[in-house]
Structure 1
Amino acid sequence: MIKTSVKTIRLLGMTAAASLLTGCILVPGSNIDPGALGATSNDTSWFESTGGAGTWFPGLRREPEETPEQQQQTEQIVQQTVDVVTITSQLVAEQQRAAQMNQAVPAAMPASLVQELASYEYHVDKGDMLIITVYDHPELTNPSGSNNNNPENSGITVENDGTIYYPYIGKVQVAGLTVDEIREAIAGPLAQFITDPQVSVRVQRFSAKRIYVTGQVTRPGQQSITNIPLTVLDAIAAAGGLAPDANWHEVMLSRNGTETILSVYEMLNNGRLGQNMLLQHGDVLHVPVAGQQQVFVLGELNRVNTLPMGNIRMSLTEALTRSGGLNQVTSNAEGIFVIRPNAPDAPKLATIFQLDVKNAIAFAVGAQFMLQPSDIVYVTTAPVTRWNRVISQIVPSLNALITANQLNTL
């Protein structure tokens, strides 16, 4: 999954929201006489006429009707800046399939992960403590230098060079070996001094390898990698579970300079265990806060809203319902739009999805179209051709903010 700049998305969302708010919050859907407000052709406002009255959009340039050439120019600006996509059942199905493919979350644990867990073996490294037992030879079970009074420290520590010292055979290279390989490495040379030595090796203390769990968990901190395989869900459980304000959908795994976004929600609620990865030494698992996840709902609705998303994703129809539904007097059934800022390196600033609810069945499609954090839902009174003019006026602000954000990250 491509990691987008949270700062850019929030800035874009706030700017587009502010631009649109100027067209609906001050007098949303008001049917008024423009002359009563002293409107002139020089006012930086836009009045949408409807039979002598209409809707006032302060803050957007009030311009005369566009000529065909101007309409074509506006259309070109929109096409170069954003993608406008109609929300259909086919689109919803395609997005659902794409999301599953991009996130690599099959509905069951993949065979490769099952095999990886089944064949997992811990490889000893420097700092680990070993207990080596030679049956019928107690003098070799607790060689000189081990702590007989403290069982936890009763053993042989692997030195920084990856070796241990063992009686009769001297230094033994053990770093990178499994306990079975270490047993063979000791039993072979020891057979020169003891007949058929029966050797057992186990790790008394795992100190060499660890992972880190940070962010919104009950007990953040480091965890040791042991002889029991440690997966993403195991590590979160060992950290006391997710905190109440944790973002279940965007848990970040950092490994060797690469960041992967994982969805704990999908794993726990939908059984998609393909993301329950086996953790490795040095991995950092970060659980972000969910508080910054929100959707802006603006325009010709009964209630303008900023909706927190939480960990259960919200559909377009749900967002409209939670905002009191469409204003039946002023809203345009063709003009339900979702503005979704693109990643900073995308060729266009945003993707705008359009839902036409002249047919009530379209609300069922909207119920399957899932919103993402920082989406802007906007319902307009304007016809689609006028909507192109709104987009063209928002574009300069979006361009400026993207440029400013890129400069800040240099």
Structure 2
Amino acid sequence: MLNRSLAVLLSLTTFLSACSTAPGNHLDTSRLQDNDPTPTETYPVRLISTQVIAQQVAAMTPAAPLPPSRFPDPLQYVYRVEPQDILGVTIWDHPELTTPQSSGISTGGNTTQSIGAALAQPYAQALPGQADPFGQTVGPEGNIFFPFVGKLHVAGKTTGQIRDELTAGLAPYIKKPQVDVRVLAYRSQKISVTGEVKTPGPLAVSDVPLTLVDAITRSGGTTAEADLQRVRLTRNGKLYVLDAYGVLDRGDVAQNVMLQSGDILNVPDRTDSRIFVLGEVKTPVPVPMLKGKLTIADALTAAGGILDTDANARQIYVVRGMSTNPSTPDIYRLDMTQPDSLLLSTQFQLRPLDVVYVGTSGAVQVNRLIQQVLPSLQSLFFLKELTR
């Protein structure tokens, strides 16, 4: 009988040692050296209460600094001509000096376009073909050439200033000249709109002030994944974060900044505005913030709620700050067994990249341990029966 028992034990040992060669996913750890010490840090946990929520409201993150603007008041805005702009000049009662205004004018090649269409040209593109014959194109040095006046420097000047200079230059040749100057095509100054908009691309800066909301609207609006709370503006090498939701929802016109040439506007997706719900919930899932806001109740509802049989309602944790300071995160705990817990869960505001974790009840931990151990106990029982 003893020999039989030894034989069975040796066979079982051989079987277990062969598990490393069993089919299925397996990682051979013999070549890995894992010397990481067991972490010994402890993290303080704050119980979510009305005092914590009051402190949260009092310590709300101040608004991010806004980019400096050349024109603090939109009423002071004025467009200045730069190289590549195309000007139209009208000399009353002198059609030979006036930019043609026929119903169909050539713009180079086989393309024709009316003056009205030229004036309504999209902000994102210049005129098709070569428009030089039907307007005064500002050269690289900032000059134009006009009959009787000759070379005239117009870069950096307004249309009103150019009109006055043309009037003075034509006065010796035309009695009381009446001159009008307008921009036919805005080509010199532009901004770039990228990210989660329907029509990304350049937008020309014109004589009408171009604001944050205008740029997004003229780019076709946003996609479903756009995060309007964190619109990024790059100006002169510096990055600014603007809240377009504040403009649309709260009327915060300070966020609707005026854009200027060289600006890069990026509408990001909601990757950085998510909350992660883990633990004993029905559907662990990342939850996007709603217009920059989300409460614990919102997050748990989006995850289907906590598991009635497995969750520990006293252990609703919020882990915060792992992205900026992973060594010392802020940890909060909500006790959902208290009468005021439901109200507190609707008032505690989460922040981007927070982790909401629902703990496991003690009884469930024991049951799971039994489920892990039970197969081994059964094997030992059958082994004992075989060795009798």
Q: Same fold (TM over 0.5)?
A: yes
Superposed, 1:7-406 pairs within 5 Å as 77-78=41-42, 84-89=45-50, 91-93=52-54, 95-96=56-57, 99=60, 101-103=62-64, 116-142=73-99, 149-150=106-107, 151=115, 152=118, 153=131, 154-290=134-270, 293-299=273-279, 301-303=280-282, 305-309=284-288, 311-312=290-291, 313-326=293-306, 334-342=314-322, 344=324, 349-380=328-359
Cα distance between partner residues in 2 of 1:375 and 1:264: 23
| 3-state SS in 1 of match to 2:261 | coil
Query: Which residue identity does 2:75 align to in structure 1?
Result: A
Tell me if structure 1 keeps the 8 A contact 2:192–2:263: yes
Deviation at 1:228, TM superposition (A): 1.0
Deviation at 1:183, TM superposition (A): 1.6
| 3-state SS in 1 of match to 2:151 | strand
> Which ranges in structure 2 are unaligned for 5 or more consecutive residues?
1-35, 108-114, 119-130, 363-388
Cα distance between partner residues in 1 of 2:301 and 2:211: 39
Query: Which residue identity does 1:119 align to in structure 2?
Result: Q
Query: Which residue identity does 2:354 align to in structure 1?
Result: D
- Pair 282,115 (structure 1): closer, same or farther in 2 beyond 3 Å: closer
- Pair 306,175 (structure 1): closer, same or farther in 2 beyond 3 Å: same
Tell me if structure 2 keeps the 8 A contact 1:187–1:197: yes
Tell me if structure 1 keeps the 8 A contact 2:310–2:361: no
Q: Larger RCO: Structure 1 or Structure 2 (Cα < 8 Å, ≥ 6 residues apart)?
A: 1
Higher alpha-carbon Rg: 2
Cα distance between partner residues in 2 of 1:335 and 1:137: 85
Q: Percent identity?
A: 35
Corresponding position of 1:397: none
| 3-state SS in 1 of match to 2:319 | strand
Deviation at 1:121, TM superposition (A): 1.1
Tell me if structure 2 keeps the 8 A contact 1:294–1:306: no
- Pair 276,335 (structure 1): closer, same or farther in 2 beyond 3 Å: same
Tell me if structure 2 keeps the 8 A contact 1:291–1:308: no
Cα distance between partner residues in 1 of 2:97 and 2:303: 75
Q: C-alpha deviations, 1:334-389, integer Å up to 9, x for none? A: 53221123554x59543223334453323323212222332111233699xxxxxx
Q: C-alpha deviations, 1:16-65, integer Å up to 9, x for none? A: xxxxxxxxxxxxxxxxxxxxxxxxxxxxxxxxxxxxxxxxxxxxx9x9xx
Tell me if structure 1 keeps the 8 A contact 2:191–2:260: yes
Tell me if structure 2 keeps the 8 A contact 1:247–1:311: no
- Pair 84,280 (structure 1): closer, same or farther in 2 beyond 3 Å: farther
- Pair 310,327 (structure 1): closer, same or farther in 2 beyond 3 Å: closer
Deviation at 1:277, TM superposition (A): 1.2
Q: C-alpha deviations, 1:94-151, integer Å up to 9, x for none? A: 545655632469xxxxxx99962222111111000111222223333249xxx96554
Cα distance between partner residues in 2 of 1:208 and 1:123: 10
- Pair 196,90 (structure 1): closer, same or farther in 2 beyond 3 Å: farther
Instruction: Give me the TM-score of the superposition, normalised by structure 2.
Output: 0.66
Deviation at 1:281, TM superposition (A): 0.7
Cα distance between partner residues in 1 of 2:252 and 2:61: 9
Cα distance between partner residues in 1 of 2:290 and 2:301: 18
Tell me if structure 2 keeps the 8 A contact 1:291–1:310: no
Deviation at 1:243, TM superposition (A): 1.3
Cα distance between partner residues in 2 of 1:229 and 1:220: 19
Query: Which residue identity does 2:238 align to in structure 1?
Result: T
Corresponding position of 1:45: none
Instruction: Give me the TM-score of the superposition, normalised by structure 1.
Output: 0.62
- Pair 240,302 (structure 1): closer, same or farther in 2 beyond 3 Å: closer
Aligned pair count reads: 297
Q: C-alpha deviations, 1:217-237, integer Å up to 9, x for none? A: 111111111111111111111
Q: C-alpha deviations, 1:199-253, integer Å up to 9, x for none? A: 2111011000111111221111111111111111111111111112222332211
Tell me if structure 2 keeps the 8 A contact 1:142–1:148: no
Q: C-alpha deviations, 1:249-301, integer Å up to 9, x for none? A: 322111111122223333323333321111111111112223575322223x3
Query: Which residue identity does 1:290 align to in structure 2?
Result: R
Query: Which residue identity does 1:199 align to in structure 2?
Result: V
Cα distance between partner residues in 1 of 2:157 and 2:47: 58
Tell me if structure 2 keeps the 8 A contact 1:316–1:371: yes
| 3-state SS in 1 of match to 2:229 | coil
